[in-house]
Amino acid sequence: MQPYPTALTIAGSDSGGGAGIQADLKTFMDHRVFGMTAICAVTAQNTLGVQRIDPLPPEGVRAQLQSVFSDLHVNAIKIGMLGSADVVRVVVEELSKLPKRPPVVLDPVMVASSGHRLLPADAEAALRDELMPLVDVVTPNLPELAVLAGTDDRGAGLAWAAAQSVAVLVTGGDPDPRLDDDGTVMDVLYRPDWPVRRFAASRIVPPRGTGSFHGTGCTVSSAIAARLAHGQELDEAVEGAINYVQALLRTAVELGSPGAGNPVLPHGLD
């Protein structure tokens, strides 16, 4: 009997349930994918912000990865918050050992919505130079793209994305500034040797908070991984993941949010 689809998330825990490991697992469940985890950090976090981050020891992360890989089949991997250069390198080492690496989606969790940098400089460099070559698609938002590309110029950042040897999905990434003001949000997918694809959607404004929803980056990257676990091609997986998040955003506006800060996505309730 063919085993059912599975996906592994390597990321941090969000005690508020809106992002991180919790959002990934709920997204996997929405896509009928069995989820597994390797937790890299435990955060005290809610819709108002992050109060505390406790990184796990790198060897503890390694043990989790080896435990999963030694027993369970893994159809796709999503990588989120890693926290340190040592953990980045543990992930690189364990992925490199796999005889056949499944599709890997990297959400480069590097910059908080407040603009606070979440990774030290050596971890940013390790993620870009050592981990990125092992993945299939990277999903930065514009602040994360600026860190990866080393420039705040949007056009230069997008040129960097287009030049990579892996696929890059820039969320909110179209270079035309007119699109920032006309109620349209654009995600742009760059793939080596493929035409650029743009995915346009109406901008959905949260009813309260600081102007953004909580957990969208985690959710779109884990949705891509879940769809790749089902065997979809990358373009199809990206388009389906974006549509999935848009549906969650609309439901979030209709239902409201359980917290006092930025609204969360109502996984499983759409």
What is the block-wise mean pLDDT of the chain (270 residues), using blocks of 10 residues? 89 95 98 98 91 94 98 97 96 97 95 69 94 98 93 92 97 59 84 94 78 90 98 97 96 90 88
Which helix H or strand E contains 106, and what residues bound it?
A: strand 104-106
Q: What is the pLDDT, as a whole number, of residue 40?
A: 97
Does 90 map to a domain?
Answer: yes
Coil, strand or helix at 99: coil
Q: What is the pLDDT, as a whole number, of residue 178?
A: 45
Does 261 map to a domain?
Answer: no
- For residue 216, the enclosing domain spans 6-255
pLDDT, one tens digit per residue, over 120-165 is 899 999 999 999 999 999 999 999 999 999 999 989 999 999 999 9
Does 147 map to a domain?
Answer: yes
Least Cα distance to 220 among 56, 132, 109, 90 occurs for 109
Does 266 map to a domain?
Answer: no
Q: What is the pLDDT, as a whole number, of residue 261?
A: 87
User: What domain count does the chain have?
Assistant: 1
User: Distance between CA atoms of 86 and 56, rounded to whole angstroms?
Assistant: 11
pLDDT, one tens digit per residue, over 89-117 is 999 999 999 999 999 999 998 876 556 67
Q: What is the pLDDT, as a whole number, of residue 184?
A: 82
Burial class (CB in 10 A: 0-12, 13-18, 19+), 242: buried
CATH number of the domain to which 50 belongs: 3.40.1190.20
Does 84 map to a domain?
Answer: yes
pTM: 0.95
Does 265 map to a domain?
Answer: no
Which helix H or strand E contains 248, and what residues bound it?
A: helix 234-255
Q: What is the pLDDT, as a whole number, of residue 62?
A: 98
User: Distance between CA atoms of 208 and 178, rounded to whole angstroms?
Assistant: 25
Helix locations, the chain, DSSP H: 20-30, 58-69, 85-97, 121-126, 142-149, 154-162, 216-229, 234-255
